[in-house]
């Protein structure tokens, strides 16, 4: 594989962006990434998006977005893996550049969730329709079952779940792009209403609009575009059964584990060498399960890690310095790209108040459904 | 780019397959492709699908289909470009193998359209929602406008349109996988009811269920799997504005033209060297426009080519020997892969009664929306 770098990044603020349409947000993020790299021509575009069909009755985002950039003609493809659509856009764009077929490729993600659709109903299409969604399961319900299984097996408590929320809001309060720029306390989390027991409102990521984009090129051309490119050291992906009931251990996200194993092998680094990580905390229990499956935290100790400050800024392995999905927001198709941008910012020393000192290697992990698909990228400072 | 071959193919019959679910059809096609190649392990899966969300409320097809094959764990991604989703699946799978990241990759397409959804409404999501679909435009309406523009500019007649249908039904009658295995006459076409003037029922491809799959590997490993691999000589893609009204000339499909130019350049062959072609005849006017944009037929003479027998089996350049979308059926996400299978069969000498004698180079062209995205692959016998 030809080596590939990220040479530009751009994203919208995440939130309820009622003044911006799907194409408005995409163009804002994509043009910011192009400007960041001083680039004006693209060989191809990948658009990560979960369900613009469900949310705003729009499929076929490739040509729509190429046109919105004033680049009609450029090959443009939408890729989807539910909430991991952004991570998959980065992966497919990587392969196109790595193959030598193209040089300058945009990997972007976008989702417009606040335009009137029944969000819970649309998101449920990421679960198994025939064995889960049809019977009324929702994603808070699925992750509540994962939380119960983790509590039973490892003694994780409701307070542990709250600690993840508190940490991520503390990080997100420092992020100008975050949907919720405010801290919360453990007491506030534990006093918020139940959504699906044991998960409370403040254990759940919000419904968000937003877009994010990164520009890729061959590593040997990176300096044409930026003084501080970021090298893509590895991309790992794995799937698991779509239906939660078909997994051996609902408290262990096997697709996350396998995707990480593949990425570590490709990069030639181990979890101990990761200095900063963005992981998929769609619910606070998800961060606990993901940090364990990634090997960043010992199995069964994800709750303890949040409680002890291990995964906070200044801790042993800072996780979700952006605020994570919980505080930064979760426009589902955009999330995987926004994670990569946070890691790029950390490696470029551009993370401001959230900077992890001298970060050289970072990881981002993006997940679909109840963990049925997972994509891990490992990025490195050059 | 590393050279890549197709070493196995498989597909379901196309039609109203009321006994088969989305995953049933996918598994049938994919397992047939694996069996054809004698393969049992995959490195990755690409699933081309336009809108399982709209048709059967199921997104996240990657892990669902990996699991349906008994291969849970394998990286699996859905790609979408409306009715060009199959072509895009082949293209993205090609890049993954060409990059060296993976060796054995399945490119498949599937669509379940007859399960009760409002098909016209779902398909309209391939048009521009804000400027077209919201205001009531349908795809028969869009292609009727393209037909009117072509008639006005080039003198194409309703009888020319009918000749395309008659030819493709004659071909499809020879195809055991086709939805409509029967011939029709010009008189029958011209007596069928108007759907959107000047397009009549028999100018329109049907609503279909179906799946198709091809297995890719590096060219230098192809002989491990089959005696007669097919080499992928080129992949070209292009977009145009999503909304028809934004195009300079609605009768000329510029995305098709550009995607073909890119593919011809990559393969180092010209349109005169193509011996057999599958093109995207979602409506009979589309075949006329596509053959012209591909350079297979002189501009403005697409109607004449059908009338004269130039594009029929036994003619100068046989087009849609499979029966095309019109007679074989058009399960939208599967179509691009089914086209590639027909060309593989022709190059392998396995097309039975539809065989084009001694075909060495073939082309398949798959299109999304009213021509806003187009993917061209050129395949060669080894």
Residues facing B8 on adjacent strands: B215
- State how far the Cα of B382 lies from the Cα of B378, in Å rounded to an integer: 13
Say if the Cβ atoms of A60 and B126 lie within 8 Å: yes
3-class secondary-structure state, position B338: helix
Q: Under an 8 A CB cutoff, do A66 and B2 touch?
A: no
**Rounded distance between C-alpha atoms, residue B345 and residue B60, angstroms:** 31
Count helices and strands in chain B by DSSP H and E runs: 13, 11
Best of A25, A60, A366 to substitute, by most chain B Cβ atoms within 10 angstroms, is A60
Among this protein's residues, is B330 annotated catalytic? yes
Q: Does B260 touch chain A (CB under 8 A)?
A: no
Q: What is the pLDDT, as a whole number, of residue A319?
A: 98
B101 contacts A63? CB cut-off 8 A = no
Using a cut of 0.90, tell me whether the model's pTM lies above it.
yes
122-181 in B: which are within 8 Å (CB) of A? 122, 124-130, 133
Q: Do B372 and A88 touch (CB under 8 A)?
A: no
Query: Which positions ≥6 away from A183 have C-beta within 8 Å?
Result: A166, A169, A170, A173
CB-CB neighbors (< 8 A) of B126 in chain A? 59-60
Task: State residue A349 phi and psi, 5-degree precision.
Answer: 70, 30
pLDDT for residue B146: 98
Determine the pLDDT at residue A203: 98
Q: Please state whether beta strands B44-48 and B76-80 pair in parallel, antiparallel, or not at all (unpaired).
A: parallel
Answer whether the bond into residue B67 is a cis peptide, omega within 30°: no
* Chain A residues touching residue B254 (CB < 8 angstroms): 73
Distances, alpha carbon A226 to alpha carbons A36, A230, A359, B34, in Å: 8, 10, 19, 45
CA distance A358 to chain B (A): 30
User: What 3-state DSSP class applies to B233?
Assistant: strand
Other C-beta atoms lying within 10 Å of the C-beta of residue A241: 23
Q: Which of A179, A186, A92, A195 is nearest to A140 (CA)?
A: A195
pLDDT for position A76: 98
Interface with chain A: mutation pick from B43, B95, B257, B376, highest number of A CBs within 10 Å: B95
Query: Would you list the DSSP string of A279-327?
Result: ---SBHHHHHHHHHHTTSS-TT-HHHHHHHTTTSTTSSS-B-TT-HHHH
DSSP state string for B195-220: EETTEEGGGB----EEEEEEEEEEGG
- Asked if the Cβ–Cβ distance from B125 to A82 is below 8 Å, we say no
Question: Model ipTM?
Answer: 0.98
> pLDDT at position B357, please?
97
Chain B interface, best mutation among A53, A83, A238, A256, by max B CB count within 10 A = A53
CA distance B102 to B356: 33
Measured between beta carbons, the chain A residues lying within 8 angstroms of B129 are 56-58
Contact A204, A330 (CB under 8 A): no
Q: What is the distance between the alpha carbons of residues A199 and A160, in angstroms, rounded to a whole number?
A: 12
> Which residue matches tokens 């007679």?
B327
Is the Cα torsion angle B247, B250, B252, B256 positive or negative in sign?
positive
CA distance to partner chain A, nearest, from residue B109 (Å): 14
Cβ-Cβ contacts under 8 Å for B146 (sequence gap 6 or more): B244, B250, B251, B285, B286, B289, B370, B371
Which residues of chain B, if any, have pLDDT below 70? none
Radius of gyration of chain A (CA): 19
Q: What is the pLDDT of residue A62?
A: 98
CA separation (Å) from A84 to A109, B77, B364?
A: 10, 10, 31
Angle between helices A22-37 and A61-68 (to 10 degrees): 60
The answer for A 45-84 residues in CB contact with B (under 8 A) is 50-51, 53-54, 56-64, 66-67, 72-82
Residue B141 confidence (pLDDT) = 98
Question: What is the C-alpha to C-alpha distance for residues B251 and B346, in angstroms, rounded to an integer?
Answer: 30
How many Å lie between the alpha carbon of B185 and the closest alpha carbon of chain A? 35
How many distinct helices (H) and strands (E) make up chain A?
13, 11
CB contact under 8 A, B50 and A59: yes
Residue B45: helix, strand or coil by DSSP? strand
Cβ distance of A59 and B125 shorter than 8 Å = yes
| Chain A, window 289-328: residues with a beta carbon less than 8 angstroms from a chain B beta carbon | none
Nearest CA in chain A to B64: A242
Mention every residue, 6+ apart, whose C-beta is less than 8 A from residue B346: B276, B321, B354, B355, B356, B359, B362
* Beta-carbon pairs below 8 A across chains A and B: 202
How far is the C-alpha of A38 from the C-alpha of A40, rounded, in Å?
7
Is the Cβ pair B60, A125 closer than 8 Å? yes
Q: What is the pLDDT along chain A (382 residues), one digit of tens a residue?
A: 999 999 999 999 999 999 999 999 999 999 999 999 999 999 999 999 999 999 999 999 999 999 999 999 999 999 999 999 999 999 999 999 999 999 999 999 999 999 999 999 999 999 999 999 999 999 999 999 999 999 999 999 999 999 999 999 999 999 999 999 999 999 999 999 999 999 999 999 999 999 999 999 999 999 999 999 999 999 999 999 999 999 999 999 999 999 999 999 999 999 999 999 999 999 999 999 999 999 999 999 999 999 999 999 999 999 999 999 999 999 999 999 999 999 999 999 999 999 999 999 999 999 999 999 999 999 999 9
pLDDT at residue number A350: 98
């Amino acid at each position: 594989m030809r080596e590939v770098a990220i040479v530009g990044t751009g994203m919208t603020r995440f939130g309820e962006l009622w003044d911006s349409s799907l194409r408005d947000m995409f163009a804002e993020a994509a043009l910011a990434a192009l400007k960041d790299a001083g680039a004006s021509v693209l060989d191809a575009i990948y658009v990560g998006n979960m369900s613009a069909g469900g949310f705003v009755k729009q499929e076929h985002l490739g040509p729509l977005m190429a046109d919105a950039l004033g680049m009609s003609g450029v090959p443009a493809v939408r890729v989807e893996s539910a909430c991991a659509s952004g991570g998959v856009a980065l992966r497919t764009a990587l392969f196109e550049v790595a193959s030598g077929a193209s040089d300058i490729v945009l990997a972007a993600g976008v989702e417009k969730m606040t335009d009137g659709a029944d969000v819970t109903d649309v998101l449920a299409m990421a679960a198994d329709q025939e064995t889960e969604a049809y019977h009324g399961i929702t994603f808070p319900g699925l992750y509540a079952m994962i939380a119960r299984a983790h509590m039973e097996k490892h003694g994780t408590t409701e307070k542990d779940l709250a600690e993840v929320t508190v940490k991520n809001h503390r990080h997100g309060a420092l992020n100008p792009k975050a949907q919720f720029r405010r801290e919360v306390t453990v007491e506030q989390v534990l006093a918020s209403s139940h959504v699906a027991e044991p998960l409370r409102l403040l254990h759940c990521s919000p419904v968000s609009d937003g877009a994010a984009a990164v520009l890729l090129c061959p590593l040997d051309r990176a300096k044409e575009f930026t003084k501080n490119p970021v090298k893509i050291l590895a991309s790992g992906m794995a799937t698991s059964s779509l239906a939660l009931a078909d997994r051996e251990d609902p408290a262990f996200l096997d697709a996350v584990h396998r995707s990480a194993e593949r990425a570590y092998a490709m990069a030639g680094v181990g979890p101990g060498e990761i200095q900063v990580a963005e992981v998929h905390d769609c619910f606070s229990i998800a961060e606990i399960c993901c940090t364990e499956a990634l090997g960043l935290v010992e199995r069964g100790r994800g709750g303890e890690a949040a409680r002890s400050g291990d995964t906070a800024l200044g801790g042993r392995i800072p996780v979700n310095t952006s605020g994570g999905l919980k505080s930064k927001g979760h426009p589902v198709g955009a999330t995987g790209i926004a994670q990569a941008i946070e890691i790029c910012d950390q490696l470029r020393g551009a993370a401001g108040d959230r900077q992890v000192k001298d970060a050289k290697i970072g990881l981002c992990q993006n997940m679909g459904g109840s963990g049925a698909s997972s994509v891990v990228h490992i990025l490195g400072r050059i």
